[in-house]
Amino acid sequence: MNQITPVIRIVDSSDKDAVTRLVDTESRRDPGVERRVRQIVSAVRERGDEAVLEYAHMFDKLDGDVEISRAEMKRLAKTVEPGVRDAIRLAARNIRTVAQKQVPRGWRVTTTTGVNVEQRVTPLERAGCYVPGGRYPLPSSLLMTAIPARIAGVREVIAVCPKPEATVMLAALEAGIDRMFRVGGAQAIAALAYGTETIPRVDKIVGPGNAYVAAAKALVSRDCAIDFFAGPSEIVVLSSSGHPAWIAADLIAQAEHDPDARAILLTPSRRLAAAVARELERQLPLNGPARVALTRNGAIVITRTVSEAVRLSQRIAPEHVVCDDEQVAARLTHAGTVFVGDYSAQALGDYSSGSNHVLPTSGAARGRGGLSAADFVRVSTVQRVTRAGVRAIGPAAVALAEAEGLTGHAKSVRMRLGSGRDAR
């Protein structure tokens, strides 16, 4: 009888080497993927539509026009079953509600008499939303990227998807997409970043994708803004008394995204660790990406205390964290998003809670949170200084400029200080 390999490792936190290998991973780079992406991006920059169509036929078996007409969107959207249609509308409504709270506000402040600083908030002119077209259609990703852009006031929202199915078409209409193109992969990212005869250049590219999409976004980020680098999905569950079956289900749900996904339970309870391991064996299918991910990248780490579990989660800085209570949640500041309590299933955030599911991975949550309406605006400043203001702050500017050896800076201020002209 063949021995079955345990689906997930159980590691004691005292095993420092094992814990380090588990939690201190960096985003994986594949030189072969990066080399191929560089070629594709270069070809699209040089040959525009010709290269985009060539790759679309080669990789995505393009059948039909590149641009999807509004009539085609409406025709296919009508085929979506009522239950799914209602779910898309509910999700869209909740995403709008959250996004409306995320737009930065303009303000003015007087720092010194005669010195006024204004924060100006202006939307981007054009945004590009990438929608993956892998094993399953992902209408939720279109809602999560396009709706915040619309709420922020972006003038034109463009979507690209290699294989947009009916649910994606419905989501495009619900989100208010202006134009949609049947292209994907690195060629779609390059087209959005640099523009072609058919696909317009955008100010910012957002949305998740595979390794080729992620590499292309990183490459074009020197010329076009992106949201962030997105690697394989991640979940950390931090619990001492949670429901074993529910915890196992959460780990499986995230692991099914990708064979490279990470799914980790941090717990001070050996009893809970054993119970979750048993539930994983019971619930997991015999094959598929979830089993591969949990076997390859999953683990249960038994910590000495809850505080140690929090410290480990902070080191990982994962995309998603699920925890037991508010006191623990308050300490989890390095995470794309935090789910609190037994009923706060991570999958709800992927679809219908209203919070965005486009989130930082591979430790990037140390520096930022998920996609929001704030990602689609420019926050800039406007400064107004009167003659009285120059007199108030000018000497300090001169002193600092001279200390730095920048005599031209000092002179430009000193001329105003000595001027008899009314510079109001």
Q: What is the pLDDT of residues 284-324, one digit of tens each?
A: 887 788 999 999 999 999 999 999 999 999 999 999 999 99
> Are 62 and 174 found together in one domain?
yes
Residues 295 and 161 in one domain: no
Are 172 and 74 within 8 A, CB to CB? Answer: no
pLDDT of residue 380: 97
If pLDDT is split at 50, 70 and 90, which confidence band does 101 have?
very high
The C-alpha atoms of residue 268 and residue 273 are separated, in whole angstroms, by: 8
Tell whether 156 is covered by a domain.
yes
Q: pLDDT tens across 68-99, in order? A: 999 999 999 999 999 999 999 999 999 999 99
**Do 43 and 87 reside in the same domain of the chain?**
yes
Q: Could you tell me if 302 and 268 are in contact, meaning their C-beta atoms sit under 8 angstroms apart?
A: yes
Q: Residue 185 has what pLDDT? A: 95
Domain contains 95: yes
User: Of 230, 196, 195, whose CA–CA distance to 210 is shortest?
Assistant: 230
281 and 340 both lie in a single domain: yes
pLDDT at 172 over 50: yes
The total number of structural domains in the chain stands at 3
Neighbours of 287 (CB within 10 A): 8
Residue 404 sits in the same domain as residue 314: no
The whole-number average pLDDT for the span 114-122 is 98
Examine the domain organization and report whether 93 and 150 are in the same domain.
Answer: yes
Instruction: Confirm whether 189 is domain-assigned.
Output: yes
| % of the chain surpassing 70 pLDDT | 96
pLDDT tens digit sequence for 327-340? 999 999 999 999 99
Q: Percent of the chain, pLDDT > 90?
A: 83
**Mean pLDDT of the residues in the chain:** 93
Position 374 scores a pLDDT of 97
In a domain, 135, yes or no: yes
- At 19-40, the pLDDT tens digits run 988 887 666 678 899 999 999 9
Task: Report which DSSP code applies to 6.
Answer: P
Whole-model pTM over 0.85: yes
Q: Are residues 249 and 205 in the same domain?
A: no
The residue among 194, 226, 258 that closes a domain is 226
Instruction: Report the range of poorest mean pLDDT among 19-28, 132-141, 213-222, 398-407.
Output: 19-28
Residue 140 has pLDDT above 60, yes or no: yes
C-beta separation of 55 from 185 below 8 A:
yes
In the 8-state DSSP scheme, what is residue 200? P
Q: What Å distances lie between residue 242 and 266, 342, 344, 412, CA to CA?
A: 11, 7, 12, 65
SS3 226: strand
Q: Looking at per-residue confidence, does 424 or 233 come out higher?
A: 233
Which of 176, 202, 226 is where one domain is finished?
A: 226
Pairing mode, strands 299-302 and 262-267: parallel
| Average pLDDT rounded to a whole number, residues 163-170 | 94
Residue 261: helix, strand or coil by DSSP?
Answer: coil
Same domain (yes/no): 198, 88: yes
Q: Is 369 within a domain?
A: no
List the domain range (segments joined by +) for residue 153: 31-113+124-226
Task: Assess if residue 381 is contained within a domain.
Answer: no
Report which of residues 362 and 216 the model is more confident about: 216
In this prediction, residue 424 carries a pLDDT of 43
Same domain, 143 and 199: yes
35 CB burial (10 A radius; 0-12, 13-18, 19+) = exposed
**Given a cut of 60, is residue 369 above it in pLDDT?**
yes
Same domain, 48 and 145: yes
Per-residue confidence (pLDDT) for residue 137, from 0 to 100: 78
Residue ending a domain, among 337, 354, 371, is 354
Q: What is the pLDDT of residues 153-164, one digit of tens each?
A: 999 999 999 999
Task: Identify whether 373 is part of a domain.
Answer: no
Helical H segments across 105-201, by residue range:
139-152, 166-175, 185-194
Q: What is the pLDDT of residue 3?
A: 44
**Does 4 map to a domain?**
no
Same domain? For 274 and 260 the reply is yes
| The pLDDT of residue 105 is above 80 | yes
Give the Cα separation of 150 and 153 in Å (integer): 5
Q: What is the DSSP letter of 115?
A: E
Catalytic residues: 319-320
Residue 421 clears pLDDT 60, i.e. is over it: no
> Which string of b and e fits 181-213 if b means at least 16 CB within 10 Å?
bbbbbbbbbbbbbbbbebbbebbbbbbbbbbbb
pLDDT tens-digit series, residues 251-296: 999 999 888 899 999 999 999 999 999 999 999 887 788 999 999 9
Q: Are 340 and 323 in contact (CB under 8 A)?
A: yes
Predicted pLDDT at 26:
65
Q: What is the CA radius of gyration of the chain?
A: 25
Residues 283, 161, single domain; the answer is no
pLDDT at 423: 41
Nearest by Cα to 237 from 211, 206, 268, 282? 268
Specify the CATH number for the domain of residue 330: 3.40.50.1980
